[in-house]
Amino acid sequence: MPGLMLIDGNDKYRYTGGINDQEITQFFENYSNGKLEKYLKTQAIPEPNDENVYVLVGSQFHEIIGKDKDVFVEFYAPWCGHCKKLAPEYEKLGDAFADVQDVIIAKIDATENDTPEDIRGFPTLIFYPKGKTEGIKYQGDRTADAMIGWVKSQATVDISAVKTEL
């Protein structure tokens, strides 16, 4: 059966009814009245998820971002060569912040998970300060040392436990 999805910016609404005038009309009326639930493409939360680089998925994006910790996120694609090259450096970044309680170093497969971000290239690195849902894009070198220094400069929380020797 053909599918129908209404896309409004980064918000998506998936139609699951039958193919008839009444149900389709009701779908659009529900959209106009704000009664539709947003459709969210998301992977399952991995178990366990206790590595130094946290695996973020679409369904928990709003549970992690904008809360009580600083969060640095890599939006990646599994097939991306630049992402594969970044992976070992990003792991070192995660290791450096492993003992910092209020900083999360995370990654999200942006091809399998919807987020509010308009990602146009891979990898995209964004820092979300504690309590903020608007992030700051990282434009620096893709080395662990450069990223560690930058995250330290952006931090809004206690980062005294960051490891400087990796």
Residue 10: count other Cβ atoms within 10 Å of its Cβ: 12
Question: Could you read off the pLDDT of 30-72 as tens digits, one per residue?
Answer: 999 999 988 889 999 999 999 999 999 999 999 999 999 999 9
Show the beta-strand stretches assigned E in the chain: 4-8, 11-15, 54-55, 70-76, 103-109, 124-128, 136-137
Same domain, 31 and 71: no
Name the pLDDT band for 1 (thresholds 50, 70, 90). Answer: low
Across the chain, which distance is largest between two alpha carbons, in Å? 65
- Two structure tokens written together for 79: 């097939």
Summarize pLDDT for 83-129 with one digit per residue, the tens.
Answer: 999 999 999 999 999 999 999 999 999 999 999 998 999 999 999 99
33 and 70 within one domain: no
- Do 70 and 34 sit in the same domain of this protein? no
- What single-letter DSSP state applies at residue 39? B
> Residue 78: is the preceding peptide bond cis (ω within 30°)?
no
Q: pTM of the entire structure?
A: 0.86
Which amino acid, residue 38? K
- What pLDDT is recorded for position 75? 98
Say if CB 19 and CB 1 are below 8 A apart.
yes
pLDDT at residue number 83: 98
The 8-class DSSP code of residue 37 comes to P
Q: Are residues 99 and 75 in the same domain?
A: yes
User: Total structural domains in the chain?
Assistant: 2
